[in-house]
Amino acid sequence: MVLWTCRRCTTRFAVGLPYCPQCTSTDIEKEDGVPKITVHGGPSDAAAAGEPPAPAAAAEASEVEQATSEDAAAPDSVAEPVAEVAVPDGTVEAVLAWVGDDPERAQRALDYERAKPTPRTTLVAELEKQAV
């Protein structure tokens, strides 16, 4: 844990305070040697000491490089379709608002409602008007 030290009374206190809580002096000694954790390879001081990055970080970096090279090799490839949004399981108004004017959504909502043990007749009637 990093603490700042008052040069006047030698009290150690939390980083960020504007002055010493003991004597109110602003003559503060700040510790700067704080190791920082990076996303790519762990502590930054390990890299400064000449140590190799952690195996997990090296594997992650190679996966990123591989994915980048695959993306560059196939720029005309089609992205995978986004997963379909589930039919909301709410009030009749909520389902009809989700359907809107889309006949395909109306059909999905109708199929979903009919699969229930007790389908709502008012919702089924409205969806049948709009479904494909």
* pLDDT class of 3 with cuts at 50, 70, 90: confident
Residue type, 104: E
The mean of the pLDDT values for the chain is 75
Return all residues near 102 (Cβ < 8 A) that are at least 6 apart: none
Domain ranges of the chain: 1-32, 92-130
| Predicted TM-score of the model (pTM) | 0.38
Radius of gyration of the chain (CA): 31
pLDDT confidence of 130, banded at 50, 70, 90?
confident
DSSP symbol at 63: H
Of the two residues 11 and 51, the one the predictor is more confident about is: 11
Average pLDDT over residues 52-71: 55
* Cα–Cα distance for residue pair 106/98, rounded to 1 Å: 9
Q: Which two tokens mark 118?
A: 């007790």
The per-residue pLDDT for 124 is 92
